[in-house]
Structure 1
Amino acid sequence: MTSSLTIYSPAGVVREAAALRRAQKHLVRLGFDAHLDESALAKHQRFAGDDEARLAALHRVAASGVDVALAARGGYGMTRLLDRIDWALIANSVAQGTQWVGQSDLTALQLGLLAHAKGCGPTWAGPLAADDFGRTAEQGGVDDITEACFVEAMHEELEAIGFREAGAPRGTAPHDGFEAEGLLWGGNLSMVCSLLGTPHWPRIKGGILFLEEVGEHPYRVERLLLQLRQAGVLQAQKAVLIGDITRFKRAPHDRGYSLKSALAAVQAGCSTPILTGLPHGHEATKVCLPVGAKTQLVVQGRDVLLAWGHV
């Protein structure tokens, strides 16, 4: 049975309509009945339509009963809508089977749903239509792993992902034998921190928190992580998984300070294990992660397995 899929734009403006058209065609080739929401290409300043238009699109998709709701892109804009979202409507759509997929700015929607309707079912931290499925051949085309994970997840066949822990000295496996179970949650680091102290913050204890970031110097990443640590968030989790943190520029006065240094400084004051290497973030290769699902984490050597199908 063909899955219906709507591409909608709840945040930043789609800068190239052609990318969205390519994404739609590619998704059709993958077997989805893919179409664009009526305001997917709307423009207002840097947004995909004004706040009213984007809020209406979000609610329209939720009420449609579509199988897959795929965000066109991230950017900025979801935060403006949080106080007016009909969370019961979104939660009901999830309960009825709509799979919401996205990342970056969509972190605010996914975590807001955990805060307002915990237990309604997971959403998916995963690809974006224009950024991932709209890639040209010159841009490297659609990543095979990203595509395969997405298709399996949307067909309810993805039950686990694996990766190799990065950053440890050669010949070492600092988290070998570690195991944990907890609610999987997280997303873009800046967006996660932006929700602290708001009604849209999910108060999760004993969870598995995953984080990614783009375009932020390691000292800013460290500062954001320290905010989470000083707020007691990191200590309340069973594990923290660090995804891609990329596209930042080093400064001449860093003098050896690096992302590795930043993460080590955070880990030094936190007993919760921080594991790196999760293939998720603002790069071409990204796995799909079920935000809000009960998940099991198992580490063997430097190989990490994250499973949710039978927890």
Structure 2
Amino acid sequence: MTKHIYIYSPASAVRDKAAFRRGVARLEGLGHEVEIDEAALSVHQRFAGDDTTRLAAIARAAASHADVALISRGGYGLTRILDALPYNALTKAIERGTEFVGLSDFTALQNALLAKTGAVTWAGPAVGEDFGAETGADDIMEACFDDLLSGQGEGTGWRMPMRDAELKVRAIHDATLWGGNLCVLASLLGTPHFPSVDKGVLFIEDVNEHPYRVERMLDQLRLAGVLGRQRAIVFGQFTGVRKVPGYDRGFGLTTVIDRLRSLLKVPVLAGLPFGHVPTKVLLPVGAKVELAVDGRDVFMVWGHRHASGHQHAAHTPHAH
């Protein structure tokens, strides 16, 4: 199953070129035709080229007719150019069948596109940190990516932490899935690039953010009325947290989640295998989903996003 994968750099410069090369080699080793954008390894300050260069790279990705347009890495850079993104070209590319995949800073493009045109993109891996991981690409991530390429992916599932075993959550139907990196998402609030999603399923993740910063961003979204309008809030993986010994005194992410649950009537779920972690599922940002909870097991289904008649079981990693 050879697919055309276009690799480009819309945000930070690729610093770990060895990981980039490993990622490209891995994708080629899986039998795919990999096309690397001419500016993929460009450097301007901290960015993969100046703003004009990166906008041109995004336009080339949209014009590539590739099956998948995959980011080299996240970092920072897309919020700088949201006003100038080629939204019509991106939407037409998606309508033609190009799937745009990424995470982290890519959250800005995904949600701006959702706000502007309603087009569906995929929260998923990047070339360097995922396919180019020094220890090898994660099996579940690759299986989910393969499902996207084959048009057979129809949903995902995971196991919530033991402490959430008694949560009672009604089944959710026909809800828009949206979200991504919490810090990037919060930065879009109050702008035309923030999606106006009511009764959706909002998923969030972040890296290197202390729990108090996570709580502050969540409070911003809560006080703005965003969280209370959703059908569910789903916590992905929050990694790289550095607590202050002797200072936090038990304040952590579980504290943040428990407080949020006490303030919202909306169910707050945890353990989604997505974020800056090796084992990550792919999630269709902007698609309609169904969500059901059975004890600690959560199942989220979006059906087929391609014209494929095949049925395929969802990958269900157990995230703790």
Deviation of residue 45 (structure 1)?
0.8
2:48 pairs with 1:53: no
After TM superposition, the score normalised by the length of structure 1 is 0.95
Match of 1:68 in 2: 68
Q: Which amino acid aligns with 1:128?
A: A
1:175 shift after superposition? 2.6
Tell which deviates more after alignment, 151-160 or 272-281: 151-160
CA distance in 2, matches of 1:289, 1:64: 23
Deviation of 1:176 (Å): 5.2
Post-superposition offset of 1:295: 0.3
- Could you tell me which residue of structure 2 aligns to residue 109 of structure 1? 109
Counterpart of 1:221 in structure 2 is: 214
- The aligned residue for residue 294 of structure 1 is 288
Equivalent residues in 2 for 1:2-151, closer than 5 Å:
2-118=2-118, 120=119, 122-136=120-134, 140-151=135-146
Q: Does the alignment pair 1:165 with 2:160?
A: yes
Q: Greater shift after overlay, 12-21 or 183-192?
A: 12-21
Q: How many residues align?
A: 304
229, 235, 241: which one aligns with 1:236:
229
Task: Write the deviation string for residues 97-148 of structure 1: whole angstroms up to 9, x where unpaired.
Answer: 0000000000001001101101x3x211000001101112xxx211111111
Q: For residue 147 of structure 2, what is the amino acid of its counterpart?
A: E
Partner secondary structure for residue 254 of structure 1: coil
Whole-Å Cα distance in 2 between the matches of residues 128 and 73 of structure 1? 5
Partner of 2:167: 174
**Secondary structure of 1:211 counterpart:** strand
Alignment match, 2:248: 254
In the TM superposition, residue 158 of structure 1 has moved relative to its aligned partner by 0.8
Please, which runs of 5 or more residues in structure 1 have no aligned partner?
Answer: none
Alpha-carbon offset, residue 35 of structure 1: 2.1
* Structure 2 gap segments, 5+ residues each: 306-320
Aligned to 2:313: none
For the residues of structure 1 that align with 2:297 and 2:47, how far apart are their CA atoms?
40
| Counterpart-to-counterpart distance in 2, 1:163 and 1:278 | 6
Aligned-partner residue type, residue 42 of structure 2: A
Shift of residue 284 of structure 1?
Answer: 0.9
8 Å CA contact 1:180, 1:238 repeated in 2: no
SS at match of 1:187: strand
Distance 1:238 1:90 in 2: 28
1:153, distance to aligned residue in structure 2 (A):
1.3
Partner of 2:151: 156
SS in structure 2 of the partner of residue 306 of structure 1: strand
Distance 1:124 1:285, change over 3 A: same
Compared CA separation, residues 288 and 26, structure 1 to 2 (3 A): same
CA drift of 1:167 comes to: 5.5
The one-letter code matched in structure 2 to 1:36 is I
Distance in structure 2 (CA, Å) of the matches to 1:280 and 1:208: 14
Is the Cα–Cα contact under 8 Å of residues 162 and 296 in structure 2 kept in the other structure? no
Equivalent AA in structure 2 for residue 126 of structure 1: G
Q: Calculate the aligned-residue CA RMSD, in Å.
A: 1.4
Deviations 1:67-105 (A, max 9, x none): 110000000000111010111111111111000000000
C-alpha separation between the residues in 1 aligned to 2:100 and 2:35?
15
Distance 2:44 2:88 in 1: 28
SS at 1:181 equivalent? strand
SS of residue in 2 equivalent to 1:261: helix
- Equivalence for 1:272: 266
- The structure 1 residue matched to 2:195, chosen from 202, 218, 226, is 202
Instruction: Report how far residue 289 of structure 1 moved.
Output: 0.3
- Give the distance between the partners of 1:175 and 1:113, measured in 2 at CA: 34
C-alpha separation in 1, matches of 2:91 and 2:222: 30
